[in-house]
Amino acid sequence: MAAENGSSVESSATAKAIPGQRAVFPYVDPRNTTPELAEAFKVLPFDRNVLKQLAHAEGFFPPISQLLGTVFRSTRELPTLEWQLVVLRTAALIGAHYVFEINTPVALVNGMPNAKRLLIAFGIVNDEFYSVRDRVLMEYVEALVRTDTVSDPLLASLKTHFTTREIIEVIVIVGLYSIFGRVTNVSRIDDDPEIPGLMDSLTKLTGQKDRGE
C-alpha cells in the first residue's frame, strides 16, 4: 500500500517473501528498512515474524513496539507469570496459535508448570495450579475478550485482589496481544525459525528482580 508521497514499505524493497512461506504478505526485513522501523525492531534481541508483519503498519509499528517493551520490562506492575497467564489465555480465546506458542517459552522460563500452560489453553481452572488471583484473571480475560466489559461481581473481585494499576494493565495487555493475534491470524503467519539461545535471552529480558520475582 503506497503512502501519500508514493513510497511504501514494500515498494522500497524492505519487505520480501521467503521461500515456501505460508504468509499472504511479505515480511519486512529489519536489516533493510527505514531507520525508525529498524530501531523499533530492537525491542526484542531476536527476530519474530509477527513484528515483521506488524511493521507494514509503519506509522503504528514504532509506538506499538515501544509498548511491547514496556510490557516486557519492570515498568509493568502485574507479576510476570500473571502477565503470561493473560497473554496465553488471550491467545487461546482468539485462536492465535502462533502467539500462544511464542509466549510459551516466556512462561516456562519464568517457572510456569507446563501442565498449567495447557490448562490455560483450554480454559480449565484447577485448584492445584491456580491462585485466587489466577482464577479472577481467567474470568477477567474471558470477559474482556468476549464482552469487552465486566459484571459488577467480577469488578468487585478485581478491586479486592488487584490494584487499579494492575486492572488497567490487564486491559492494555489483552488489547496489545489481541493486535498481535489478529495480525498473525489474518496474515497466515509462518512459524518462527529456531532461535539459538532463546531461553537465556528470555531470562535476561523478563527478569523482574525489582518486584522480588
Indicate whether 119 pLDDT > 90: yes
Query: What's the average model confidence in pLDDT over 108-123?
Result: 96
Q: How far apart, in whole angstroms, are the C-alpha atoms of residue 103 and residue 79?
A: 15
Based on the domain organization, do 193 and 100 belong to the same domain?
Answer: yes
**Residue at 212 is within a domain:** no
Domain hosting 38: range is: 25-72
Q: 59 lies in a domain?
A: yes
Residue 197 carries which side chain, given as an amino acid letter?
A: G
Does one domain contain both 38 and 87? no
For residue 2, pLDDT over 70 is answered with: no
- Per the CB < 8 A criterion, the answer to whether 150 and 162 are in contact is no
- Listed residues 39, 72, 105: the one ending a domain: 72
141 and 181, same domain (yes or no): yes
Which range is least confidently modeled, 14-23, 32-41, 107-116, 160-169? 14-23
On the question of pLDDT at 60 being above 90, the answer is: yes
Q: Which residues pair with 188 in a beta bridge?
A: none
Domain count for the chain: 2
Query: pLDDT of 129-185, one tens digit each?
Result: 999 999 999 999 999 999 999 999 999 999 999 999 999 999 999 999 999 999 999
Question: Same domain, yes or no, for 169 and 111?
Answer: yes
Claim to verify: residue 63 and residue 97 sit in the same structural domain: no
How many Cβ atoms are within 10 Å of 210's Cβ, its own excluded? 9
Identify the band that residue 14 occupies on the pLDDT scale cut at 50, 70 and 90: low
Q: How many residues does the chain have?
A: 213
Residues 65-114 have pLDDT tens digits of 999 999 988 689 999 999 999 999 999 999 999 999 999 999 999 999 99
Q: Quick one: 45 and 146 in the same domain?
A: no
Q: Are residues 66 and 127 in the same domain?
A: no
User: Are 120 and 156 contained in the same domain?
Assistant: yes
Cβ–Cβ contacts within 10 Å for residue 129, how many?
Answer: 16
Same domain, 93 and 195: yes
169 and 90 in a common domain: yes
> 60 with 117, same domain?
no
The CATH number assigned to the domain holding 142 equals: 1.20.1290.10
Instruction: Give residue 18's pLDDT.
Output: 72
